Structure 1
Amino acid sequence: MKALVVRGGWEGHRPVEATELFVPFLKNNGYDVRIEESPAIYADQSEMSDTDLIVQCLTMSTIERAEVAGLRAAVQAGTGFTGWHGGIADSFRASSDYLQLIGGQFATHPSKEPASCGGTETDNFLRYSVNVTDLGRQHPITAGLDDFELETEQYWVLHDDLIDVLATTTHPVRPWHPWHRPITSPAIWTRRWGEGRIVVTTPGHSLDVLENPNVRAVIERGMLWASRTASGS
């Protein structure tokens, strides 16, 4: 099996260190791992057709038309595609074709009370729950996991209804918020695209979150589930 790790973009998500957490898992599960520092590889049809799994950690940045077309074609043909946090749910904001492929896009992460914010990334670290759905309790990626809590960025996601939501998170209403009722966002979802499988896990802002046993289990199980060999079953 061949896995392609594509990383880069905004350095705040530490794409090199984050992906290196999972390379040993891939190798231990029989993958030959190739690492690329840009999405240019997506335009290489021969390489993509031979790839069973893509793990992307590339926040924001840009993608060329041929690259996103190559990515879409590979997934449609059966290549698995997965990632976490902004590395997949906030990539290539200007590409509508990429956004359609993923099915959900980061919109914001609400902050603490403005008076308590000091201008650091911890302004956006909130205590919140990740709630496994009924579907999630039966799905191989999340089966056996209970609801769990994190203190990190809580993603507010814009999404369509072609995704299969395995876990959600609910944004409450605080006195300083302009919205008027709680908002539930998908926190973990899968998506079928042609013969391919996509898995998105929104927690993962920092290395400590990725090392949380629940988050790590979801990401690792998602890699195995999304892979081409799994999608044939």
Structure 2
Amino acid sequence: MADRSALVVRGGWEGHHPVEATDLFIPHLEANGFSVRVVEDSTAVYAEADYMAGVDLVLQCMTMTSIESRELEGLRSAVAAGTGLAGWHGGIADSYRASSDYLHLVGGQFACHPGKPEAEREGGPADDYVPYRVEMLPAAADHPVTAGLGGFDLVTEQYWVLTDDYVDVLATTTQAVRPGDPWHRPVTSPAVWTRRWGEGRVLVCTPGHDPDVLRTPQVRTIVERGLLWAAR
């Protein structure tokens, strides 16, 4: 019998496959004792204070879009009271771009994914896919989300994110300098981080552009463990 409650809020830009991507993890939540409510294309549920008080975990996959002030305050208050918040890629790190209070909650914001050099571009989505490595930091060795995982390689969007020093970084990725790039030295960004907010926990995993990336064993492990770690 389910003894905890998970809320899945999904929608926004369809290029991140919010339905298919979150469907990968709903069975995992149910197998670990969560009853799961799914809300499509709306953040209105965040303003339902009585309901949110009983939610143990929010899995959010909502890229871009916008959020009303009452909804955001409801989410922030729930997390501060102990509700976990977890997600991946643009579904959590590129949500509600106009809201500084949301950025304050999650601790980081997608800036860009530089993609291939101009000379190698062919005009399709694959122009944004590059080979890169996710490196585990020493803090990852004993953390419940990343224990036992080593660095791994991906070919997908490499997120350059802007963060503050209140994030606890478990893994990083480094954007190289290539001919024609306007930056002058390699830039290292967090790839996996956690954040404490009041009584709540936040988990962000920047890999996860599409279901194929989420099925990568290391990424799937990080997300599955991260959901359980973040939950109340």
TM over 0.5: yes
Moved more, 152-161 or 134-143: 134-143
Q: How far off its partner does 1:138 sit?
A: 1.5
Out of 127, 130, 151, which is 1:147 matched to? 151
Out of 58, 62, 73, which is 1:58 matched to? 62
| 1:36 aligns to 2:39 (yes or no) | yes
| 1:23 aligns to 2:65 (yes or no) | no
Moved more, 141-150 or 115-124: 115-124
Give unmatched runs, 5+ long, in structure 2: none
| 1:8 aligns to 2:11 (yes or no) | yes
Fraction of identical pairs, as percent: 62
Name the CA distance, whole Å, in 2 between partners of 1:47 and 1:171: 42
TM-score, with length taken from structure 2: 0.98
Q: In the alignment, residue 210 of structure 2 is paired with which amino acid?
A: S
Name the CA distance, whole Å, in 1 between partners of 2:68 and 2:184: 39
Out of 92, 100, 111, which is 1:107 matched to? 111
**Map of 1:72 onto structure 2:** 76
Between the two proteins, the alignment pairs up a number of residues equal to 228
**Map of 1:231 onto structure 2:** none
Give unmatched runs, 5+ long, in structure 1: 229-233
Question: Could you give the per-residue CA deviations for residues 133-176 of structure 1, whole angstroms, max 9, x where no partner exists?
Answer: 01111211001001000000000000000000000000010011
Name the CA distance, whole Å, in 1 between partners of 2:111 and 2:125: 16
Structure 1 stretches of 4+ with a deviation exceeding 3 A read none
Name the CA distance, whole Å, in 2 between partners of 1:120 and 1:100: 34
Q: In the alignment, residue 34 of structure 1 is paired with which amino acid?
A: R
Name the CA distance, whole Å, in 2 between partners of 1:212 and 1:8: 22
| 1:204 aligns to 2:214 (yes or no) | no
Q: In the alignment, residue 23 of structure 1 is paired with which amino acid?
A: I
Question: Could you give the per-residue CA deviations for residues 113-151 of structure 1, whole angstroms, max 9, x where no partner exists?
Answer: 112212211101010000000111121100100100000
Q: In the alignment, residue 5 of structure 2 is paired with which amino acid?
A: K
Q: In the alignment, residue 187 of structure 2 is paired with which amino acid?
A: I
Q: State the secondary structure of the residue aligned to 2:148.
A: coil
- Aligned CA RMSD, in angstroms, stands at 0.5
TM-score, with length taken from structure 1: 0.97
Q: State the secondary structure of the residue aligned to 1:62.
A: coil
| 1:215 aligns to 2:219 (yes or no) | yes
Q: State the secondary structure of the residue aligned to 2:55.
A: coil
